[in-house]
Amino acid sequence: MYYTKFETRFCEIILVGNKEGLSHLHLNTGEGKRSFEISDEWILNHDFFTDIINQINEYFSGKRIKFNVRLNPGGTVFQKKVWRELTNIAHGNLCTYKDIAKAIGNENAARAVGMANSKNPIPLIVPCHRVIGANGKLTGFAHGVAIKEKLIQLEQTGSTDQ
């Protein structure tokens, strides 16, 4: 596995993956409940991720609305089904956990969808930040609600106040 770190205007990002695809994208915000450790077995290789870094930078500058990245997240069958569905949420749009539950064929699975979202190893590219509570509130985000709000604002208005 390879990894790299790079700075964006929002936070440091850590990428992990191999020829099978990107397996982790960590938004190192210092907030939220997600921590991330780089394995001693992984090899630092910035060049391996050049295209993904360029796409992320284009996204943050408002020049990209869809990612073209081979993904290889680890997770359960249910989690992967939820994550695939998340990639269908269009840039700038929001939906609820129940909307995702209905889309995967079980409208009573909103809580399970929320749990799958919290385990999403590739946020941003698998856009779990576009899922909100039924009451319209920006409910939990593993990397902190502040960055979730900034990502939504970026997608809906093309800018942030940062």
Find the mean pLDDT for residues 85-90.
96
Active site residue 95: no
pLDDT in tens, 72-82: 999 999 999 99
Q: What is the mean pLDDT of the chain?
A: 93
CATH code of the region 77-157: 1.10.10.10
Of the residues 71, 103, 128, 142, which is catalytic? Answer: 128
The pLDDT of residue 69 is 97
For residues 117 and 35, the model is more confident at: 117
pLDDT in tens, 97-130: 999 999 999 999 999 999 999 999 999 999 999 9
Do the domains 77-157 and 2-60 match in fold? no
Parse the chain into domains and list their residue ranges: 2-60, 77-157
Question: Which among 88, 97, 132 has a CA at the least distance from the CA of 115?
Answer: 97
pLDDT in tens, 48-67: 999 999 999 999 999 999 99
Question: How many percent of the chain have pLDDT more than 90?
Answer: 82
pLDDT band at 159 (very low <50, low <70, confident <90, very high): low
Query: Which pairs from 138-146 meet CB under 8 Å and 24+ separation?
Result: 139/97, 139/114, 140/33, 140/114, 141/32, 142/32, 142/33, 142/34, 142/118, 143/11, 143/26, 143/27, 143/29, 143/31, 143/32, 143/34, 144/29, 144/30, 144/31, 144/32, 145/31, 145/32, 146/29, 146/31
Class of 2-60 in CATH: alpha beta
The pLDDT of residue 161 is 56
Output the pTM of the full model.
0.93
Give, as one character, the DSSP assignment of residue 49: G
